[in-house]
Chains A and B, each alone.
Chain A
Amino acid sequence: MEKFNVFASRLIPKEDYVCSGHRACQGCAEALAMRLVHKVLGRNTIAASATGCMEIISSPYPETAWAIPWLHVAFENSASVGSGIEAGLKALMRKGKIPKRKINVIAYGGDGATVDIGLQWVSGAMERGHNMIYVCYDNEAYMNTGIQRSSSTPLHAATTTSPAGKAIGGQQTWKKNMTEIMVAHNIPYVATINPSYPFDFMAKVKKAAEVDGPAYLHAYSCCPTGWGSRPDLGIQLGRLAVETGAFPLYEVEYGKYSVQEKIEEFRPLKDYVKLQRRFRHLTDEQIAASQERLIKEYKLLLKKEQMTREGD
Chain B
Amino acid sequence: MAVRKGIESSLAIAEAAAACNVDCIAAYPITPQTHIVEHLSELVNDGELDAEFIPVESEHSAMSCCCGTAAAGARTFTATSSQGLALMHEIMFIAANLRLPIVMTVANRALSAPINIWNDHSDVMTERDCGWLQIFAENGQEATDLVPVCHRIAEDKRVLLPIMLNFDGFIVSHVVEPIEMLDRDEIATFLPDYEPQQRLDVDYPITMGPVGMPEVYTEAKMAHEAAVQNAYGPICEILDEFGKKFGRTYKPVETYKTEDADIVFVMMGATAETCMSWVDKVRETGKKVGIVRFRLWRPLPVAAFKEAVKGKKVLGIIDRHFSPGGPGGPVAQEVKYTLYGEKDAPKVVEVVAGLGGRDIDFDTFDNIFDRCQKVLDGGTVPPFELIQARGGHYGKI
Q: Using CB atoms and an 8 Å cutoff, list the residues of chain A in contact with chain B.
A: 43-46, 48, 55-56, 59-62, 64, 66-74, 76-77, 80-92, 94-95, 97-98, 103, 120-121, 123-124, 127-128
What total of A-B pairs shows CB separation below 8 Å?
A: 159
Q: Using CB atoms and an 8 Å cutoff, list the residues of chain B in contact with chain A.
A: 23-24, 26, 50-52, 54-58, 60-61, 64-74, 76, 90-91, 94, 98, 193, 200-202, 204-213, 216
Q: Do residues A80 and B50 form an inter-chain contact, with CB atoms below 8 A?
A: no
Min distance, Cβ B17 to any Cβ of chain A, angstroms: 14
Q: Do residues B61 and A64 form an inter-chain contact, with CB atoms below 8 A?
A: no
Min distance, Cβ A229 to any Cβ of chain B, angstroms: 27
Top 6 A-B residue pairs of the complex, sorted by shortest distance between their CB atoms: A84-B68, A88-B72, A124-B57, A72-B209, A77-B64, A88-B74
Min distance, Cβ A291 to any Cβ of chain B, angstroms: 38
In addition to A91-B50, A127-B57, 6 A-B residue pairs with Cβ atoms within 8 Å of each other are A61-B210, A62-B210, A70-B206, A83-B65, A87-B52, A124-B58
Q: Do residues B61 and A80 form an inter-chain contact, with CB atoms below 8 A?
A: yes
Q: Do residues A88 and B61 form an inter-chain contact, with CB atoms below 8 A?
A: no
The closest CB in chain A to the CB of B201 belongs to A69
Q: Do residues B74 and A92 form an inter-chain contact, with CB atoms below 8 A?
A: yes
The closest CB in chain A to the CB of B74 belongs to A88
**Interchain CA distance A127-B51 in the complex, whole Å:** 20
Q: Do residues B65 and A90 form an inter-chain contact, with CB atoms below 8 A?
A: no
**Interchain CA distance A89-B90 in the complex, whole Å:** 25
Which of B26, B94, B211, B216 contacts A59, CB < 8 Å? B211
Min distance, Cβ B65 to any Cβ of chain A, angstroms: 4
Q: Do residues B216 and A84 form an inter-chain contact, with CB atoms below 8 A?
A: no
Q: Do residues A80 and B64 form an inter-chain contact, with CB atoms below 8 A?
A: yes
Min distance, Cβ A281 to any Cβ of chain B, angstroms: 35
Known contacts: A72-B209, A88-B69. The answer to whether A103 contacts B61 by CB under 8 A is no
Q: Do residues B50 and A88 form an inter-chain contact, with CB atoms below 8 A?
A: no
Which A residues touch B212, using CB under 8 A?
61
Which A residues touch B216, using CB under 8 A?
61-62
Which A residues touch B58, using CB under 8 A?
120, 124
Min distance, Cβ B393 to any Cβ of chain A, angstroms: 41
The closest CB in chain B to the CB of A98 belongs to B73
**Interchain CA distance A76-B57 in the complex, whole Å:** 13
Which B residues touch A44, using CB under 8 A?
202
Q: Do residues A73 and B202 form an inter-chain contact, with CB atoms below 8 A?
A: no
Q: Do residues A71 and B211 form an inter-chain contact, with CB atoms below 8 A?
A: no
Known contacts: A46-B200, A124-B56. The answer to whether A84 contacts B24 by CB under 8 A is yes
Show 13 residue pairs from A and B whose CB-CB distance is below 8 angstroms, ordered by the A residue.
Answer: A61-B210, A71-B67, A73-B67, A74-B94, A77-B64, A81-B67, A85-B68, A87-B68, A87-B72, A90-B52, A91-B52, A92-B74, A98-B73
Q: Do residues A72 and B208 form an inter-chain contact, with CB atoms below 8 A?
A: yes
Which B residues touch A46, using CB under 8 A?
72, 200, 202
Min distance, Cβ A114 to any Cβ of chain B, angstroms: 15
Q: Do residues A68 and B205 form an inter-chain contact, with CB atoms below 8 A?
A: yes
Which A residues touch B76, using CB under 8 A?
88
Q: Do residues A70 and B65 form an inter-chain contact, with CB atoms below 8 A?
A: no
**Interchain CA distance A81-B60 in the complex, whole Å:** 11
Known contacts: A43-B202, A69-B205, A120-B61. The answer to whether A88 contacts B211 by CB under 8 A is no
Q: Do residues B23 and A123 form an inter-chain contact, with CB atoms below 8 A?
A: no
Which B residues touch A62, using CB under 8 A?
210, 216
Which A residues touch B67, using CB under 8 A?
71, 73, 81, 84
Q: Do residues A87 and B69 form an inter-chain contact, with CB atoms below 8 A?
A: yes
**Interchain CA distance A121-B54 in the complex, whole Å:** 13
Min distance, Cβ B221 to any Cβ of chain A, angstroms: 13
Q: Do residues B207 and A81 form an inter-chain contact, with CB atoms below 8 A?
A: no
The closest CB in chain B to the CB of A67 belongs to B205
Known contacts: A67-B205, A88-B72, A124-B61. The answer to whether A97 contacts B193 by CB under 8 A is yes
Which of A70, A76, A91, A103 contacts B74, CB < 8 Å? A91
Q: Do residues A66 and B68 form an inter-chain contact, with CB atoms below 8 A?
A: no
Q: Do residues B207 and A64 form an inter-chain contact, with CB atoms below 8 A?
A: yes
**Interchain CA distance A74-B203 in the complex, whole Å:** 25
Which A residues touch B66, using CB under 8 A?
84
Q: Do residues A87 and B24 form an inter-chain contact, with CB atoms below 8 A?
A: yes
B23, B58, B193, B212, most chain A CB atoms within 10 A = B23
Which of A71, A72, A91 contacts B51, CB < 8 Å? A91
A71, A76, A80, A120, most chain B CB atoms within 10 A = A80
B55, B57, B94, B210, most chain A CB atoms within 10 A = B210
Which B residues touch A73, using CB under 8 A?
64, 67-68, 91, 94, 98, 209
